[in-house]
């Protein structure tokens, strides 16, 4: 649970979450077409912000060490998903093609290994602090999320083509693979300075899992469309990633400033 004090410091984050959610709901009230156009375009700057912040963080850490490699991996992940959002938008708005399944899925799925590497690289220096209990809890949580999702996919997608079914099953599997180490990281850093970053990263992944599940469910009767309220969760996931990275950058600056001050005193 996020500390109340931290929530107060992140008023802009809360404003961003509320305003984007309301904007999509209002656009849907106008018309489905308006919601589709608006949602496609709003994903671009929101997903793009994650890429920019990830690059800033990667430049500050450099390419050496586990954390440097971790942030390079996150840049790859965020860039891959940004490309996927762009491909989705171009296919739907300019070519009037169905964006799922499509080339966008290639970039979405390609981003998951990079995110997994990011989490694992970030956790590697702290591996001695990871207990069997942490791993067990994280895996059990992941299984609890995965099993019903897979059951829903294979039990209800009888009218879908084979490719859609495979992709429908791929996303929850990929979600859980990155969710498990993210939960371990959250438990490992609980009470530490990077806790807020990991809290947002974890919440972002959880929202992604929920959104993917919702996308699957509404795809069963072909009621899903870009601008559907479920897209709010996808947007919120990006926003949480952005503010998590931003908070990490601030912490990194503080640590660097503190280190420089100590060096000057020697």
Please tell me the least confidently modeled range out of 73-82, 222-231, 257-266: 257-266
State residue 265's pLDDT score: 29
State residue 3's pLDDT score: 54
Find how far residue 152's CA is from the centre of its chain: 22
Higher model confidence: residue 260 or residue 65? Answer: 65
Query: What's the pTM value of the predicted model, to 2 decimals?
Result: 0.89
> Most distant CA pair in the chain: distance in Å?
71
Per-residue pLDDT at 240 exceeds 90: yes
State residue 262's pLDDT score: 40
- Count other C-beta atoms under 10 Å from residue 41's C-beta: 12
- Cα four-point dihedral sign 230, 232, 235, 236: negative
Alpha helices, H only, the chain: 4-9, 11-30, 32-61, 65-89, 103-123, 132-156, 162-188, 195-219, 231-264
Cβ(25)–Cβ(236) below 8 Å: no
Per-residue pLDDT at 63 exceeds 50: yes
User: Which is nearest to 187 in space by CA: 250, 131, 144?
Assistant: 131
Tens-place pLDDT, residues 34-57: 999 999 999 999 999 999 999 999
State residue 159's pLDDT score: 64
State residue 194's pLDDT score: 60
């Amino acid at each position: 649970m996020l500390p109340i004090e931290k929530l107060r410091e992140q008023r802009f984050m809360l404003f961003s979450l509320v305003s984007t959610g309301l904007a999509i709901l209002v656009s849907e009230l106008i018309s489905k077409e308006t919601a589709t156009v608006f949602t496609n375009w709003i994903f671009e700057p929101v997903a793009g912000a994650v890429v920019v912040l990830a690059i800033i963080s990667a430049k500050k850490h450099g390419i050496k060490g586990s954390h440097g490699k971790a942030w390079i991996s996150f840049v790859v992940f965020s860039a891959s998903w940004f490309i996927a959002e762009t491909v989705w938008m171009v296919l739907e708005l300019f070519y009037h093609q169905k964006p799922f399944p499509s080339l966008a899925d290639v970039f979405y799925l390609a981003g998951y290994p990079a995110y997994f590497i990011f989490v694992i690289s970030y956790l590697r220096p702290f591996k001695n602090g990871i207990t069997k209990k942490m791993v067990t809890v994280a895996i059990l949580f992941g299984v609890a999320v995965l099993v019903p999702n897979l059951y829903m996919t294979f039990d209800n997608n009888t009218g879908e083509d084979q490719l859609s079914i495979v992709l429908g099953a791929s996303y929850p599997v990929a979600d859980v693979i990155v969710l498990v180490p993210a939960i371990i990281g959250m438990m490992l850093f609980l009470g530490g300075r990077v806790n807020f970053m990991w809290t947002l990263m974890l919440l972002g992944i959880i929202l992604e899992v929920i959104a993917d599940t919702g996308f699957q469910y509404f795809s069963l009767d072909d009621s899903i469309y870009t601008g559907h309220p479920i897209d709010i969760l996808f947007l919120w996931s990006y926003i949480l990633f952005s503010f998590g990275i931003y908070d990490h950058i601030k912490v990194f600056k503080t640590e660097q400033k503190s280190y420089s001050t100590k060096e000057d005193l020697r």
